[in-house]
Amino acid sequence: MASQNPIAPSPAAGIYGGSVFANVVQAPEDPILGVTVAYNKDPSPVKVNLGVGAYRTEEGKPLVLNVVRRAEQLLVNDPSRVKEYLPITGLADFNKLSAKLIFGADSPAIQENRVATVQCLSGTGSLRVGGEFLARHYHERTIYIPQPTWGNHPKVFTLAGLSVKTYRYYDPTTRGLNFEGLLADLSAAPPGAIVLLHACAHNPTGVDPTLDQWEQIRLLMRSKGLLPFFDSAYQGFASGNLDADAQSVRMFVADGGECLTAQSYAKNMGLYGERVGALSIVCKSADVATRVESQLKLVIRPMYSNPPIHGASIVATILKDRELYHEWTIELKAMADRIINMRQQLFDALRARGTPGDWSHIIKQIGMFTFTGLNTEQVTFMTKEYHIYMTSDGRISMAGLSSKTVPHLVDAIHAAVTRMK
Q: How far apart are CA 107 and CA 256, in angstroms?
A: 10
Could you tell me the smallest distance in angstroms from the CB atom of residue 205 to another protein?
20
**Residue 43, burial from CB neighbour count under 10 angstroms (0-12, 13-18, 19+):** exposed
Instruction: With contacts defined by CB under 8 A, name the span among 60-68, 173-181, 328-336, 377-385 that binds another protein.
Output: 60-68
Q: What are phi and psi of 373, to 5 degrees?
A: 95, 0
Q: How far apart are CA 249 and CA 134, in angstroms?
A: 19
Q: Does 332 bind another protein (CB under 8 A)?
A: no
- Give the residue with the Cβ less far from another protein, 258 or 393: 258
Size, binding site for another protein by CB under 8 A: 104
**Binding-residue pattern over the window 303 to 322 for another protein, x denoting contact by CB under 8 A:** xxxxxxxxx-----------
Q: Does 92 bind another protein (CB under 8 A)?
A: no
Question: Of 135, 312, 123, 138, which is closest to residue 233 (Cα–Cα)?
Answer: 123
Could you tell me the smallest distance in angstroms from the CB atom of residue 19 to another protein?
5
Q: Does 211 bind another protein (CB under 8 A)?
A: no
Could you tell me the smallest distance in angstroms from the CB atom of residue 169 to another protein?
21
Question: Of 244, 316, 242, which is closest to residue 276 (Cα–Cα)?
Answer: 316
Rg (CA), the chain: 23
Q: Does 302 bind another protein (CB under 8 A)?
A: yes
Site for another protein in 96-115 (CB under 8 A): 105-106, 108, 111-112
SS (H, E, C) 314-338: HHHHHHHCHHHHHHHHHHHHHHHHH
Instruction: Report the Cα 101 to chain-centroid distance in Å.
Output: 17
Site for another protein in 363-392 (CB under 8 A): none
- Give the residue with the Cβ less far from another protein, 55 or 359: 55
Q: Which residues of 94-111 are buried (b: 16+ CB within 10 A; e: fewer)?
A: bbbbbbbbbbbeebebbe
Strands 395-397 and 369-371: antiparallel
- Give the residue with the Cβ less far from another protein, 13 or 92: 13
Q: Does 352 bind another protein (CB under 8 A)?
A: no
Site for another protein in 181-200 (CB under 8 A): 192
**Binding-residue pattern over the window 125 to 144 for another protein, x denoting contact by CB under 8 A:** x--x--------xxx-----
The kind and range of the H/E element at 93 are helix 92-103
- Give the residue with the Cβ less far from another protein, 69 or 419: 69
SS3 state of residue 207: coil
Q: Does 69 bind another protein (CB under 8 A)?
A: yes
Catalytic residue list? 150, 231, 267
Instruction: With contacts defined by CB under 8 A, name the span among 6-14, 349-357, 371-379, 403-411 that binds another protein.
Output: 6-14
The amino acid occupying position 333 is K
CB atoms within 10 A of CB 373: 17
SS3 state of residue 144: strand
**Residue 2, burial from CB neighbour count under 10 angstroms (0-12, 13-18, 19+):** exposed
* Sheet strands (E) in 1-126: 48-49, 115-120
Binding residue (CB under 8 A) for another protein from 244, 288, 334, 415: 288
Could you tell me the smallest distance in angstroms from the CB atom of residue 124 to another protein?
4
Rounded to the nearest 10 degrees, what angle do helices 406-419 and 376-386 cross at? Answer: 130
Binding residue (CB under 8 A) for another protein from 9, 43, 45, 354: 9
Could you tell me the smallest distance in angstroms from the CB atom of residue 365 to another protein?
23
User: Cβ distance 48 to 387 under 8 Å?
Assistant: yes
Instruction: With contacts defined by CB under 8 A, name the span among 9-17, 175-183, 363-371, 391-399 that binds another protein.
Output: 9-17
- Give the residue with the Cβ less far from another protein, 308 or 357: 308
Helices (H), 171-308: 179-188, 211-224, 247-254, 286-304
**Binding-residue pattern over the window 143 to 182 for another protein, x denoting contact by CB under 8 A:** ---------x--xx-xxx----------------------
Site for another protein in 231-260 (CB under 8 A): 255-258
Instruction: With contacts defined by CB under 8 A, name the span among 165-173, 268-276, 338-346, 368-376 that binds another protein.
Output: 268-276
SS3 state of residue 148: coil
Q: Does 18 bind another protein (CB under 8 A)?
A: yes
Q: Does 34 bind another protein (CB under 8 A)?
A: no
